Amino acid sequence: MSWMITATGAEYHLTGAASLTDAGRPVRIEDIAHQLAIINRFHGATKRPYSVAEHSLLCSEIAQRIGLSLVAQMAALLHDGHESYTNDLSSPAKAAVNLRSAFSGGTHAWNVFETEHAKTVRAKFGLQTVFVNHRAGLRHIDLVALATERRDLTLWNAETHAGWDVLGDNEESPDRRIAPLDWLRLDTPEREAMTWKDWRQAFRDRFDELQFGIEAGHRSAA
């Protein structure tokens, strides 16, 4: 069996002949919002439940604050949309899977698998170009979010734990290190009180807001 039943009851094929058709990979924002709101980041190794949906909303907010376009803000919101189908895998786990597959004579299997489904989601929402044009910026936003999450939600301690190369902890130049946000905390009582249903609704509301703005911009430009 190489397909899953989504939250809306659709059959989404991860591989096989059916996965090559649009019907075999029905991408729905309802499924993405619901499933990302339930999937936890960091394998759940956080001080409180912290979902991919909340992470995605944070990335979209960062994109908004630094003045990126509505389309780029949408890309930030949906940059992990494929994880509603592939599930989330922590960076260390991805590296381990890729290393094992490479040593066995194959390619970086997880990257190939994940990228395939990421492209499916991006195509559904017409975001292929913005992901290419804003690749570096979106990556930086993702890392700023990660640095903030590490500070507020994990037990990482600079004095007792190894640095994270992805955040530039081991770089000789401090300018290359990724700093957490100074205008937001993720460990507030208000955030902790929110349920997965609240984050699901917040994700949908943000998607609808951006979609309305993007469509309005297209109409005014026509």
Residue-level pLDDT at 100 = 82
Q: In this predicted model, what pLDDT tens digit does every residue of 62-76 receive, in sequence order?
A: 999 999 999 999 999
33-65 per-residue burial string, b: 16 or more CB within 10 A, e: under 16: bbbbbbbbbbeeebeebbbbbbbbbbbbbbbbe
Any domain includes 6: no
At 168, the pLDDT band (50, 70, 90 cuts) reads: very high
Any domain includes 24: no
Any domain includes 46: yes
pLDDT at residue 104 above 80? no
Query: What is the count of structural domains for the chain?
Result: 1
Name the least confident of 51-55, 93-97, 138-142, 158-162: 93-97
The residue segments making up the domain with residue 128 are 29-221
Any domain includes 12: no
Any domain includes 96: yes
Distance of CA 43 to the CA centre of its chain: 14
Give the predicted TM-score (pTM) of the model: 0.95
Residue-level pLDDT at 36 = 98
At 95, the pLDDT band (50, 70, 90 cuts) reads: confident
Using left for φ > 0, alpha for ψ between -120 and 50, and beta otherwise, residue 126 falls in left
What stretch of H or E contains 13?
Answer: strand 11-13
Distance between CA atoms of residues 212 and 190, nearest Å? 28
* CATH classification of the domain holding 202: 1.10.3210.10
Any domain includes 1: no
Any domain includes 200: yes
